[in-house]
Amino acid sequence: MDEILGILPHRYPFLMVDRVLEWGEGRVRALKNVTANEPFFVGHFPQRPVMPGVLILEGMAQTVGLLVGRDRRRLGYLVGVDRARFRRPVTPGDQLIYEAELERARQGFYRARVSARVNETIVAEAVLSIAEEQQEP
């Protein structure tokens, strides 16, 4: 978790990545445990809690942000979402596995294919565009 906190500027309740499972060249797998005490479940279909799709998308963007900011001197901003699909609801007790792979990178701009899975089933996927901002050392 310390490594994630050193890369991403997000903090509770907006940090949507709990752990990095795997780093690779231009790819990363990360995990989010979805618990019943998440603050958004209080008002988002309280009788049948469902994680808002926009927060799943945020977790996917943060996963790409881990790739962009791994050297701890770059901060990524989500600038585009293409081909987003939400395939099934995410509920308390689910464990989201985010997988991001860079499709293209040029100076200051990244494009990545990202998916979110629960029990090997894709629950969401998108192609995200991320712009970076250099940070002071």
Q: Return left, alpha or beta for 93; rule: phi > 0 is left, psi -120 to 50 is alpha, else beta.
A: left
pLDDT of 137 reads 56
> What is the per-residue pLDDT for 85?
98
What is the set of domains in the chain, with CATH numbers? 2-134 (3.10.129.10)
pLDDT given for residue 71 in this prediction: 64
The vertex-61 CA angle with 4 and 83, nearest 5°, equals: 160
* Confidence (pLDDT) at 1: 83
Q: Which amino acid is at 111?
A: R
For position 54, what pLDDT does the model report?
Answer: 96
User: Comparing C-alpha atoms, which of 100, 111, 92 is closest to residue 33?
Assistant: 92
Instruction: Give the number of C-alpha atoms closer than 13 A to the C-alpha of residue 19, restricted to the C-beta side.
Output: 8
Q: Which pLDDT score, from 0 to 100, does residue 106 have?
A: 86
Of 10, 29, 44, 111, catalytic: 44
44 catalytic residue (yes or no): yes
What pLDDT, on the 0 to 100 scale, is given for residue 62?
A: 96
| 137 residues of the chain, pLDDT tens digit each | 888 998 898 898 999 999 999 999 899 999 999 999 999 998 878 789 999 999 999 999 999 999 888 765 778 899 999 999 999 999 999 999 999 999 988 888 999 999 999 999 999 999 999 998 765 55
